[in-house]
Structure 1
């Protein structure tokens, strides 16, 4: 691992800076290992779960080392978010983006050695004139955020990230710190190679996000199901929908159904409206945004209480990344996926449009996702195993662990269903097949002579209730595929199932308990009026300073204030999350409210 040993003196100094600037007593998880390597000028790839404080691993050293830390980040919104937080903690930070009018002042400040942090996009960083500009002052560190973008095996590949190596090689003695939350083994080795980081420079902090409760269920009415989640979760939420049209439609329906503020976000909106919707969401404490997957990488909002998928994501990596936007503040949060069999059918059709070389890799990703959706076991265990971890068999915080579903052997019923698909010519939808199998008195069945088939009426009673979940399960695993006219045809392992060489076990979904999760995820679990008053003050200060409320203090810090009721600036400064700059800026105002209670 290299790093921590022999650098204890610098780490003690780093802890003092951590306390003074950020108001935290000690590092979390593997932060200390990463910071120790940076301070020892060793290049590092840190794979840390979202919410583990990745940005702190370069912001803190930036305040301690000679020269400016140059941060390469993929989105302007993300840079501006980080800029606000860095400045609120007393760091000298600036961005150089197409959206900044003050670029001259920023360039002068850099040349004069007056910046701890300079944020730029990869498109700018890879240009020769930017390289010349950088050589006009001292660089202390290159930090590459969202580093999975450099790998074509990563789920957000950005070609401009591939151009960063020549820039960093031009400043060969400057250490590199690459950061990502999502990278399987293949992506990790690609990042190390692309960015010129030695293999012993990998720090793997684990992927578990224990505060997120995962749940996956069948989609029968997305508006009603998501409105139910919103009723249980009063805080901010993100809903991912598969298309721009679905985004618009769902945003309008959820707004009508719940009366909560709900806004759309996708690449088809004009840039001003998109930016305005994002800004409104970032500063709100109860808004829900419905978005395509274009949204979220640029969001550093810690108080998102739920992420809902109204359809399947592209892969397990994408699902982990998107659900990881919930609960970055460490408070309880939830991730719910709603899926339909048609989602897998469409995904398989899209596979056929990819270049031959990529099809196998993407098919394996889709199979892994189907396994996550179809499992009767622990969801978290499947997620963590996908990233190479060896988790316990049960997590106690996903739908299957909290109310274990029944599993039934549906092999015989599957053979009947697949026979019916074959004997009716592989061109009819589920509704027609169901009528044939259950022997329904139906004109269309008679017209086609399907009432004379050997499969007519061979499924009855309890078994008939299995047909629908079975059809979905077979489509998820590819044994049934959609035809272009919406019928069902045999695919994948269908023939093995028919011959009796493959078994089909399916999950029988449990009855959903309503209202679960409501009590423990409210920001004010004990209903303390002081906490509400502190939140109200935070809201006013946020509006005045034109920053999102969480930039001032997180809910967790307000809960500590309400619990310990500090009576002096010194006592307030001892609470977690209260650094020197924030104490000076806001301390008196919060103490006044605490005294009134």
Structure 2
């Protein structure tokens, strides 16, 4: 293979993928693969792992074989490549004999560049698994090969034969989540011990992290989703039943939601996935089986209805949001009941100790009172010096107070209950509950009965979890989750040791007004472009984001390209997409701008007509249903256009002089806010706008 120049690589990057430059370590990884070196890539979801093997495939003589874990997701990958003008296909057991024969013919004639296959289907390829056909092997979701990984799949174990069968062919193994033990296992199992390793930052800065108590979480989810109309998102649930119940409740609120779980038939799961990928449904309530390998770039949020069992799983699942780099949200609901349920799941597993340790780390993350991103990144061995500023703890730091008396009451109740009762009963005793369970056991006669009736049930839960975290008491999981005192408790109960607690955070979701909910499509250029993208995707029977992702649409909205050269300069626009979609999108931009100009012209002239009739600014505003600030902007525009408008009546000579001085000091600043602040916030915005307009004309 001849030496490939960097300029040639960048040329194909732009032509086929629409990007001018590489992200993270993509450039180095691609050079490594082209040099036929085995490679291990650890890169966050949305970091651009796929390009690391898809771009080199364009330079190899033979085929790049891609091992992907789920058959249902291969079509998405192949459609994405075809949309970029790259020849790709997949093979699996669900295809007809004719379809499979066509794949073999395409391999033999080198009519395709990439071939996707699940590990279970590899035996079908035994006749072509040699170096005359295969130039590169990419193993996606490589953590599945390791029993240390969070998503071990036995079918991945057989992949060790690939290096023996194809000794000269480079193998590139890729995953978003692998701690050091898993990384070692991957290279050992794949027989590529000397693979060059490229480990990118795990930091997905665009994802805002938030954890909330799981009180009334269904209502919280409804409010969260309603506040984000037209935005795609995934809700992860532990049980199949929860996915169906939640999807039903969202549907009742007019939200396009579907359930997805392993109990559904293959066709039902495929239909749900297809609807989500193609923007026909905005929300999927799913068990963790959903999402692996999906390249849907416009998922704007991920919610965890239950606590995940480990940080690797949590990190990979939140990584399905914001793959286009735009701001996205990750919301996790945390409850004591989830921890108990997960402990029960772990009880009968083979590597129980490892899983319990991982669950503890997940629990620590959820209960943290310091920057969550620092905890998340430190788990993967990455450390940042500053707090992230994009998590709930950074944005709303918890308030600490002297909780010694609260702690003494709680620990005293646990002591008097002889360490035999779980958290729920401890709280009932503290609050003086009169339910049958309390009265049957005569707990109303305890000295601490009712000692904490002034504190809400959920607040007691919040305080008790903190006491567990601080080591004053512990949960005996093997004794029906009873709360028991530790040695440290004696210091609080008998030696007056001070205990610091945090106040529970109050979540205030702003409800969406009916007006905002009913906001029609096509009101902004982005809406218009999104509607056009959806129509094209429907016609081509592909996912909407394969036409252009949201980040590219936002750039088109911002730059408003009206020529082929301008359109090609947009990130995410390659030669094929320019040729296939460019004209329609530029036509939509021109149409939008023409309509906007016409509307603006009409609206200012309507104001001018009323002004000429002698109406005041307030009257014009009332007649037109517009704010006075808008009317003043109309009059300023008309004044600059030379219309017979007298602005002097709205501003005194003294204020005009002060604004002129501010303009000099602010070096002709055009935004109004700096003037407002410079003038001590005493001159109204309307008068500043009028004064600047007069000064501009002078």
TM-score by length of 2: 0.77
Contact 1:344 1:475 in 2 (8 A): no
- Residue 498 in structure 1 maps to residue 498 in structure 2: no
**Alignment CA distance shift 1:545-1:216 (3 Å):** same
Map 1:154-169; keep pairs closer than 5 Å.
Answer: 154-169=149-164
Question: Which of these residues, 322, 343, 346, is aligned with residue 317 of structure 2?
Answer: 322
- Residue 567 in structure 1 maps to residue 558 in structure 2: no
- Residue 106 in structure 1 maps to residue 103 in structure 2: yes
Q: Which runs of 5+ in 1 are unaligned?
A: 1-5
Contact 1:436 1:450 in 2 (8 A): yes
Q: Which residue of 2 aligns with 1:591?
A: 586
Q: Which residue of 1 aligns with 2:611?
A: none
- Residue 394 in structure 1 maps to residue 404 in structure 2: no
- Residue 119 in structure 1 maps to residue 103 in structure 2: no
**Alignment CA distance shift 1:427-1:536 (3 Å):** same
**Alignment CA distance shift 1:230-1:496 (3 Å):** same
Map 1:107-256; keep pairs closer than 5 Å.
Answer: 107-125=104-122, 127=123, 130-135=125-130, 137-199=132-194, 201-234=196-229, 235-256=231-252
Higher relative contact order (CA 8 A, sep 6+): 1
- Residue 22 in structure 1 maps to residue 17 in structure 2: yes
How far is 1:204 from its partner? 0.5
Q: Which runs of 5+ in 2 are unaligned?
A: 593-698
Contact 1:111 1:137 in 2 (8 A): no
Q: Distance in 1 between matches of 2:354 and 2:499?
A: 25
**Alignment CA distance shift 1:444-1:510 (3 Å):** closer
**Alignment CA distance shift 1:442-1:315 (3 Å):** closer
Q: Deviations over 1:389-423 (max 9, x none)?
A: 01134101011111111234646644543442343
How far is 1:307 from its partner? 0.5
Map 1:123-522; keep pairs closer than 5 Å.
Answer: 123-125=120-122, 127=123, 130-135=125-130, 137-199=132-194, 201-234=196-229, 235-256=231-252, 258-284=253-279, 287-355=282-350, 358-408=351-401, 410=403, 413-414=406-407, 416-438=409-431, 445=438, 448-459=441-452, 461=454, 466-473=459-466, 479-481=473-475, 488-490=481-483, 494-500=485-491, 506-515=501-510
How far is 1:162 from its partner? 1.4
How far is 1:160 from its partner? 1.4
How far is 1:442 from its partner? 7.2
Q: Distance in 1 between matches of 2:322 and 2:147?
A: 28
Q: Distance in 2 between matches of 1:290 and 1:78?
A: 18
Q: Distance in 2 between matches of 1:593 and 1:171?
A: 50
**Alignment CA distance shift 1:530-1:496 (3 Å):** same
**Alignment CA distance shift 1:589-1:497 (3 Å):** same
Q: Deviations over 1:503-559 (max 9, x none)?
A: 9654323333434999xxx9x9xx973332222211111110000110111122222
Q: Distance in 1 between matches of 2:577 and 2:31?
A: 26
Q: Distance in 2 between matches of 1:465 and 1:80?
A: 46
**Alignment CA distance shift 1:441-1:65 (3 Å):** closer
Q: Distance in 1 between matches of 2:175 and 2:59?
A: 23
How far is 1:227 from its partner? 0.7
Q: Distance in 2 between matches of 1:180 and 1:453?
A: 56
Q: Distance in 1 between matches of 2:433 and 2:262?
A: 47
Q: Distance in 1 between matches of 2:26 and 2:427?
A: 56
**Alignment CA distance shift 1:438-1:12 (3 Å):** same
**Alignment CA distance shift 1:80-1:507 (3 Å):** farther
Cα RMSD of the aligned pairs, angstroms, is 2.9
Say which is worse superposed, 239-248 or 134-143, in terms of deviation.
134-143
Contact 1:341 1:473 in 2 (8 A): no
How far is 1:140 from its partner? 1.3
How far is 1:345 from its partner? 1.5
Q: Distance in 2 between matches of 1:576 and 1:18?
A: 11
Q: Distance in 1 between matches of 2:214 and 2:130?
A: 55
Provide the secondary structure at the position in 1 that maps to 2:486.
helix
How far is 1:55 from its partner? 0.5
How far is 1:64 from its partner? 1.2
TM-score by length of 1: 0.90
Q: Which residue of 1 aligns with 2:670?
A: none
Contact 1:418 1:490 in 2 (8 A): no
Q: Which residue of 1 aligns with 2:684?
A: none
Q: Which residue of 1 aligns with 2:612?
A: none
Provide the secondary structure at the position in 2 that maps to 1:299.
coil
Contact 1:374 1:506 in 2 (8 A): no
Provide the secondary structure at the position in 2 that maps to 1:267.
coil
Q: How many residues align?
A: 578
Q: Distance in 2 between matches of 1:482 and 1:253?
A: 36
Provide the secondary structure at the position in 2 that maps to 1:238.
strand
Provide the secondary structure at the position in 1 that maps to 2:5.
helix
Q: Distance in 1 between matches of 2:213 and 2:244?
A: 22
Q: Distance in 2 between matches of 1:169 and 1:206?
A: 32
- Structure (1 or 2) with the larger CA radius of gyration: 2
